[in-house]
Amino acid sequence: MEPFLIQESKTKPSASVFSELVKKLAPVKGSTDPFCCVAEELQLVEQNLTRSIRSAERALTDISSHLIYGGGKRIRPMVTLLAFKAFGGTRLPEIVDIATAIELIHTATLLHDDIIDGADIRRGKESAYKKFGLKATLVAGDFLFIKAFEFAGKFDETIVQWTADACTQLTEGEILQGFFNRNPAVKLENYFEIVRRKTASLFETGARIGAYLSGAKPAMVEQMGDYGLNLGIAFQIIDDVLDVVGHKELLGKPTGMDLRDGNPSLPIILALGEGQKDVSETFQCSRPTDEKIRAALAIMGQARAIDKAKMLSRGYAERAYKPLKSVPPSLYRTSLKNLLQLIIERDF
Amino acid sequence: MEPFLIQESKTKPSASVFSELVKKLAPVKGSTDPFCCVAEELQLVEQNLTRSIRSAERALTDISSHLIYGGGKRIRPMVTLLAFKAFGGTRLPEIVDIATAIELIHTATLLHDDIIDGADIRRGKESAYKKFGLKATLVAGDFLFIKAFEFAGKFDETIVQWTADACTQLTEGEILQGFFNRNPAVKLENYFEIVRRKTASLFETGARIGAYLSGAKPAMVEQMGDYGLNLGIAFQIIDDVLDVVGHKELLGKPTGMDLRDGNPSLPIILALGEGQKDVSETFQCSRPTDEKIRAALAIMGQARAIDKAKMLSRGYAERAYKPLKSVPPSLYRTSLKNLLQLIIERDF
């Protein structure tokens, strides 16, 4: 198998390959998501999503559409589909349904997260919470959870249990994050516990179910779960990094949101560990001014926090890479590998 | 079969029988719910509920417990169990699991409803929203939905679809109710549409699944769905009536909540139809004073609105009674019938 790109800078694909990948991963418009080898399957997921958010109450469809057609990267369904294809899975309708369920769960949590964070902006535009208000957005989140249940509930007990466990972890991660909100006592181990539950669990479950539905051996199913888990952690770390050093236009939202909301991101925790007083003060402040946030971001951007965070992300990408070595070579395995590289190098 | 009690006042059971039933329906404490012929099964539901709300995050268990042990009447699981037993159902663990799912769904919606209504009081004590705050309560509602999914997702596609459809209706009913909040254009047909979706659908689904899991014939499964639907509507109407003429101590909450929240209850809609100006003004007022609410309640209490509402509730109880005629005579059928009487005569 070819060496992992992160470790072998010589074999690193040219910028153009990545920009091509990035372009392909760009926000979805309408019902197309052209990511190379699972483009067709992702289109079926899009069709499922469109069908599932139809409701007798237009508000539910409108709020769901606002987010679902609002530029999601569809990385979770993509990982699910790739894991399935990598082991020669053929029962397409099944995997498409479960990939749909996973994206619906993700979208439901985004709606509820925006309420929890009081977020004004999501994916470059007004958040549903801001646009449609708390009440309707809360109900629309429930609606999407229910639609996910409709898809996932038709599978066997194993899949139902895995999916439910992932969802339970999402809620537990949210509570844990709330506990460490603006809390300078937060440690690295708390961060990884939050990320494991709140972000990585859904990636893990998608990858595991993908392998399981393809008929892969139990050991490989577990390995793919490991891939998803570590990819999810790497993904979240880069999200945190971009909230410090990213560009508003590419991100679709202003930077500094974690400081503003008091969410314990990795760069913040690392900066706290370095004894960065201004960062600590801004993090603990219940309504930090824009000026304070800008100053804290500047400090974090220059501090070792960002480099350390990127290094940690790379470490998790490498851990995700390991299980891929036992996957038979194919276009799909290569995609799973490239996805890791793309995720840690992305700027949006 | 004996005549329906509502129609035949001569055969109406003595007050003591009802007070006994009422006592048996009284708020559940801990793991006992002694409602006569399904007491044992309801205890298994309690055990399921206790197990299912255990979480690594104590806040989720605390918030769930606050509501689950907070005096729920367990009428939905009771209807589900009675419908099952009435057709000789024997696979006990199955029906207990689905009855648990139905109660969990109901509890989840109560948590989210309290956020939507900004309710301070629920079941005679501080609401979870007031006690634990919006964020944690929102997440705890999601957590309970997920636990319901864990129970319901293990059944066949038919049950999964029925349960998902009921949940979808709950969300649609909530949106529709929001649309008619403080809206004097609300008509009786809107009211019944809201109640059908927001309250009755879960009763309907519980009763239908109960009959289905017992192996009853499809026609009877539908009939039991009819029973649940009409019982649910009768139940909600009396809830609305009690919000006008009930007693705070028995209800566990102050009266006049619908006027305060601007929820279009049946007595309000009927009073609007009678041209009661003070009721109309108070209903439309975004923050009505206690004095205004008291005055509007006094008017509604004296007006024909309450009598009319009670008559409508009785009509739905009668509709619910009809399908029972085809159920083979048994202790369970008698209980299903008595439950109707109890529901329309209750004062809490």
* B1 Cα to chain A: minimum distance (Å): 40
pLDDT of residue B27: 41
Whether residue B16 has pLDDT greater than 60:
no
> Is residue A16 very low, low, confident or very high in pLDDT (cuts 50, 70, 90)?
very low
* B279 Cα to chain A: minimum distance (Å): 25
* B62 close contact with A: CB closer than 8 A: no
Parent domain of B189: 9-345
Q: Which residues contact A180 (CB under 8 A, 6 or more apart)?
A: A186, A190, A194, A264
Whether residue B28 has pLDDT greater than 80:
no
Region B223-246 average pLDDT: 96
Residue whose structure tokens are 């399908």: B323
pLDDT of residue B348: 64
* B152 Cα to chain A: minimum distance (Å): 8
What are the DSSP calls for B235-261, one per residue?
HHHHHHHHHHH--HHHHTS-S-HHHHH
By three-state DSSP, how is residue B210 classified? helix
Whether residue A72 has pLDDT greater than 50:
yes
* A149 Cα to chain B: minimum distance (Å): 7
Whether residue A331 has pLDDT greater than 60:
yes
Cβ contacts (< 8 Å) between A108 and chain B: which residues? 142
Task: Search chain B and give the residue with CA nearest A59.
Answer: B175
Q: Using one digit for the tens of pLDDT, what is the confidence trace for B213-229? A: 999 999 999 999 999 99
pLDDT of residue B5: 47
Q: How far apart are CA A43 and CA A33, in angstroms?
A: 6
pLDDT of residue A70: 86
Region A35-44 average pLDDT: 88
Cβ contacts (< 8 Å) between B60 and chain A: which residues? 171-172, 175
Q: Using one digit for the tens of pLDDT, what is the confidence trace for B79-128? A: 999 999 999 999 999 999 999 999 999 999 999 999 998 877 777 778 89
pLDDT of residue B119: 77
Task: Say if the Cβ atoms of A136 and B112 lie within 8 Å.
Answer: no
Task: Search chain A and give the residue with CA nearest B133.
Answer: A116
pLDDT of residue B9: 33
State the Cα angle at B15 between B11 and B18, rounded to 5°.
90
Percent of chain B with pLDDT over 70: 89
Percent of chain A with pLDDT over 90: 77
CB B86 within 8 A of CB B125: no
pLDDT of residue A91: 95
Chain A, 255-294: which have a CB under 8 Å from a chain B CB? none
* B158 Cα to chain A: minimum distance (Å): 9
Chain B, 122-181: which have a CB under 8 Å from a chain A CB? 134-136, 138-143, 145-147, 149-150, 152-154, 157, 160-161, 163-164, 167-168, 170-172, 174-176, 178-179
> Is residue A17 very low, low, confident or very high in pLDDT (cuts 50, 70, 90)?
very low
State the Cα angle at B278 between B296 and B298, rounded to 5°.
25
Cβ contacts (< 8 Å) between B134 and chain A: which residues? 115-116
Look at residue A1 and tell me if it is in a domain.
no
Whether residue A266 has pLDDT greater than 70:
yes
Cβ contacts (< 8 Å) between B154 and chain A: which residues? 157, 160
Pairwise pLDDT comparison (B302 vs A249), residue with the higher score: B302
* A176 Cα to chain B: minimum distance (Å): 7
Identify which of B25-29, B34-38, B149-153 has the greatest average pLDDT: B149-153
CB B138 within 8 A of CB A115: yes
Look at residue B335 and tell me if it is in a domain.
yes
Q: Using one digit for the tens of pLDDT, what is the confidence trace for B159-175? A: 999 999 999 999 999 99
Of A5-14, A36-45, A192-201, A258-267, where does mean pLDDT reach its minimum? A5-14
Task: Say if the Cβ atoms of A135 and B157 lie within 8 Å.
Answer: no
Look at residue A160 and tell me if it is in a domain.
yes
pLDDT of residue A284: 96
For chain B, the domain total comes to: 1
Mean pLDDT (chain B, rounded): 88
CB A161 within 8 A of CB A106: no
Q: Using one digit for the tens of pLDDT, what is the confidence trace for B246-267? A: 887 777 778 899 999 999 999 9
Pairwise pLDDT comparison (A32 vs B242), residue with the higher score: B242
Look at residue A4 and tell me if it is in a domain.
no
Task: Say if the Cβ atoms of B149 and A136 lie within 8 Å.
Answer: no
Reported as half-sphere exposure (CB side, CA atoms, 13 A), residue A146 has a value of 27
- The H or E element containing residue B198 is none
Q: How far apart are CA B82 and CA B70, in angstroms?
A: 23
Region B220-239 average pLDDT: 97
Pairwise pLDDT comparison (B118 vs A284), residue with the higher score: A284
Look at residue A201 and tell me if it is in a domain.
yes
Task: Say if the Cβ atoms of A174 and B55 lie within 8 Å.
Answer: no
Task: Say if the Cβ atoms of A178 and B136 lie within 8 Å.
Answer: yes
Look at residue A310 and tell me if it is in a domain.
yes
Region A308-331 average pLDDT: 95
Cβ contacts (< 8 Å) between B145 and chain A: which residues? 142, 145-146
Q: Which of B109, B140, B175 sits opposite A60 (nearest CB)?
A: B175
Task: Say if the Cβ atoms of B141 and A143 lie within 8 Å.
Answer: no
Q: Using one digit for the tens of pLDDT, what is the confidence trace for B164-206? A: 999 999 999 999 999 999 999 999 999 999 999 999 999 999 9
Look at residue A186 and tell me if it is in a domain.
yes
Q: How far apart are CA B110 and CA B83, in angstroms?
A: 24
Q: Which residues contact B198 (CB under 8 A, 6 or more apart)?
A: B169, B170, B173, B174, B176, B177, B236
Residue A288 CB neighbours (<10 A): 21
Of A189-198, B49-58, B245-254, where does mean pLDDT reach its minimum? B245-254
Mean pLDDT (chain A, rounded): 88
Cβ contacts (< 8 Å) between B163 and chain A: which residues? 149, 153
* A215 Cα to chain B: minimum distance (Å): 21
Give me the CATH number covering residue A76.
1.10.600.10
| Dihedral sign of CA atoms A206, A211, A215, A218 in order | negative
Give the number of beta-carbon pairs within 8 Å between A and B: 130
Q: Which of A138, A161, A171 sits opposite B60 (nearest CB)?
A: A171
* B59 close contact with A: CB closer than 8 A: yes
Region A137-161 average pLDDT: 97
Residue whose structure tokens are 């239908």: B208
Task: Search chain B and give the residue with CA nearest A138.
Answer: B112
> Is residue A326 very low, low, confident or very high in pLDDT (cuts 50, 70, 90)?
very high
Whether residue A10 has pLDDT greater than 70:
no
Look at residue B176 and tell me if it is in a domain.
yes
Task: Say if the Cβ atoms of B138 and A112 lie within 8 Å.
Answer: yes
Task: Search chain A and give the residue with CA nearest B138.
Answer: A112
Burial of A226 (0-12, 13-18, 19+ CB in 10 A): middle
Whether residue B10 has pLDDT greater than 60:
no
Q: Which residues pair with B122 in a beta bridge?
A: B125
By three-state DSSP, how is residue A40 classified? helix
What are the DSSP calls for B283-306, one per residue?
HH-SS--HHHHHHHHHHHHHSHHH
pLDDT of residue B35: 66
> Is residue B345 very low, low, confident or very high in pLDDT (cuts 50, 70, 90)?
confident
Pairwise pLDDT comparison (A19 vs B112), residue with the higher score: B112
Q: Which of A136, A149, A163 sits opposite B164 (nearest CB)?
A: A149
> Is residue A140 very low, low, confident or very high in pLDDT (cuts 50, 70, 90)?
very high
Question: What pTM does this model have?
Answer: 0.89
